[in-house]
Structure 1
Amino acid sequence: MQITKEQVQKLACSDGFAWFKEKFPQGGDYAEIIQALNADKKYEWARWGVSQAYKTFLQGETKAEFIKAETKATDAMVVELNSMEHPADQVEGENSSGDDAR
């Protein structure tokens, strides 16, 4: 799902719009925008963008396209999270008693 500069300009703050224009001068794919925000550690902006997308696109004729775009964004985040190093004491099965009731 393509997000245009015009759409972002209507909703975003001036800093957010400047970031968007720099990263996606021709507009961009929803999932790629969310990934770029997270990569730049702009987590609050990413959450805000997802919230705005749900309000804007999860209705009418854009609903199916948005659901596909959101699934793509979520899949990319899962891949990224699964590729991260985790401290041994936080990984299931390592240094774990297996007591899930704790």
Structure 2
Amino acid sequence: MNTQVEQTASPEDANKAQITLSMLRQWGACSSGKSWFSAKFPQGAEYGETMTALYADKKYDDARWLAQNVFDKAFSKEIVISDVNSLIALTKQESGEEHSSGYGARIGSSG
């Protein structure tokens, strides 16, 4: 018997960047995507955290699907902030860089 409790919050109390299993159901997510999310984030997770985990698990199609649905159906400034934070985290992971400015920074252009 599954004793995990799915996150339910009133709309006014909800974090606008929060993704829940209920949202994924409403948006018509595939069963494997819902299963992955439920196993990884039984209480829900911020959009950026979800995207970072999708990329870490190499679930690129699911990441594209989520991005499209979030920006079509749940767009907010909190989503944008969460997205930017996840991109920064992914960039740091891929480059192995801990420094984003100062002497340790790498520049993306020259000339």
Runs of 4+ in 1 over 3 A off after TM superposition: none
1:10 pairs with 2:26: yes
1:71 pairs with 2:84: yes
Bigger proportion of residues as helix: 1
- Calculate percent identity across the aligned residue pairs: 35
In 2, Cα distance between the equivalents of 1:57 and 1:24?
19
TM-score (norm 1): 0.71
Superposition pairs for residues 63-102 of structure 1, below 5 Å? 63-83=76-96
Deviations 1:52-79 (A, max 9, x none): 1111222xxxx21111111112111211
Instruction: Output the aligned Cα RMSD.
Output: 1.8
Deviations 1:33-66 (A, max 9, x none): 11111111111111111111111222xxxx2111
Residue type of the partner of 1:52? N
Q: How many residues align?
A: 81
Pick the aligned partner of 1:25 from 24, 27, 42: 42
In 1, Cα distance between the equivalents of 2:54 and 2:80?
19
TM-score (norm 2): 0.66
Unaligned runs of 5+ in 2: 1-16, 98-111
Unaligned runs of 5+ in 1: 85-102
